Structure 1
């Protein structure tokens, strides 16, 4: 993908005329990231958000290049509800994506629902899941995902990291909990910014005109400090924005032509 308009660590913005073109190109990008990761270490570690993101991954379902048996999937954040609850990110990802592809169930890592009444235990348990996958293999202080896929809310939040919340300044924990989400449900766990920012590739996916004002604020005025603007990968990680023209209509930040 071209980076000619940007310094190496700056976000790369690609905008598509419509959602179908975004879905197709996002699938091609994920397939390439998967191939490079498997070639390098025999597996592909991914963290997924909920919201509208699972629907925008539909281009992966019939892609013969996707080696689902090599995927290890975690969640960027999760609502503290049973896995079959309508608010569960895991449920959305399973219904829209994982139920339609041959991914081994044991390689998808939801929260431990026996711990829903103890948020500290729940977040510690999820951190231990990450430690099992990453701690022995990476010398870094934080896990290094091959790919983290993020969405963005109208208020500029990403994961369950909301404007003005104490968790924006969390520097040590891998997984944190909150009981006071401004968006229901109030109880959630979330990866922290240090974990997100250590990923090899981070992709925001934002489509639709309702995202236009927020996307302009994040890309054109990042110092204003909206949570999505605090996603700044540690070198050599790279941040991409996959958007459509309706979402970027007000953005001055330079676009990059998509090419693999």
Structure 2
């Protein structure tokens, strides 16, 4: 595990983009690179800057979603909507492909369809999974004590969270996440500082804090933006807005 802490929002974004750009260049010129993206304001700020990177051949990249709320595509809580509006549209169709969870389908059909797309990835091994982490320690839509935490085989699972505004979701499972060649966890702010401390130093188990599982991955990187003196994280979102993030 590698942890990097940043007091500058610009440095946080720049270094996170460098990871994405480096992964984009890990294979031969004819090979496809597979990256799974999470939603959330902090990752969106990074994706927006990544879209402007001059040395990335986006025509070799295929993108997946880590998880999705079961809402229409144009819903304000749709991860696809946010990522498309703030990142994919900037690429102007330059990527090799974009795979999303089709919430116009019945739930089981959407799951099966998305899993079939993931199975097209060689060895089912994504090159990079970008993650966020909520205060309760969930990643993607893998919530504490959810049955999906223990899914042994499937690449995608259904989850239900009564505490969420949008209760029904589909998510990558741990077999998919942990088989990825690299993981990048993006965190920002005072609230996430306590959660990060829990992740690294508490005796909580994966059942109570799903992100604990990530510590078993051989190439797990955490980028944490924490303003000096514990100030506001607004700088990162201001930078993102200047890059066109809504």
TM-score norm. by structure 1 comes to 0.81
Q: CA RMSD in A?
A: 2.1
Partner of 1:31: 21
Gaps of 5+ in 1: 1-10, 250-260
CA 1:221–1:207: 2 relative to 1, 3 Å: same
Once residues 145 and 58 of structure 2 are traced to their aligned partners in structure 1, the CA distance between those partners, rounded to angstroms, is 38
Quote how far apart the aligned CAs of 1:231 are.
Answer: 1.7
Gaps of 5+ in 2: 231-246
Which one of 112, 124, 128 corresponds to residue 116 of structure 2? 128
Which one of 185, 188, 194 corresponds to residue 204 of structure 1? 185
Quote how far apart the aligned CAs of 1:219 are.
Answer: 1.0
CA 1:32–1:43: 2 relative to 1, 3 Å: same
Once residues 97 and 129 of structure 1 are traced to their aligned partners in structure 2, the CA distance between those partners, rounded to angstroms, is 21
Q: Does 1:231 align with 2:221?
A: no
Give the conservation status (yes or no) of the 8 Å contact 1:27–1:57. yes
CA 1:180–1:244: 2 relative to 1, 3 Å: closer
Once residues 129 and 99 of structure 2 are traced to their aligned partners in structure 1, the CA distance between those partners, rounded to angstroms, is 14
CA 1:144–1:181: 2 relative to 1, 3 Å: farther
Which one of 84, 97, 116 corresponds to residue 74 of structure 2? 84
Q: Does 1:56 align with 2:37?
A: no
Give the conservation status (yes or no) of the 8 Å contact 1:145–1:199. yes
Once residues 172 and 132 of structure 2 are traced to their aligned partners in structure 1, the CA distance between those partners, rounded to angstroms, is 13
Q: How many residue pairs are counted as aligned between the two chains?
A: 227
Stretches of 4+ moved more than 6 A in 1?
Answer: none
- Counterparts of 1:130-209 in structure 2, within 5 Å, are 130-131=118-119, 133-134=120-121, 137-138=122-123, 143-209=124-190
Quote how far apart the aligned CAs of 1:59 are.
Answer: 2.1
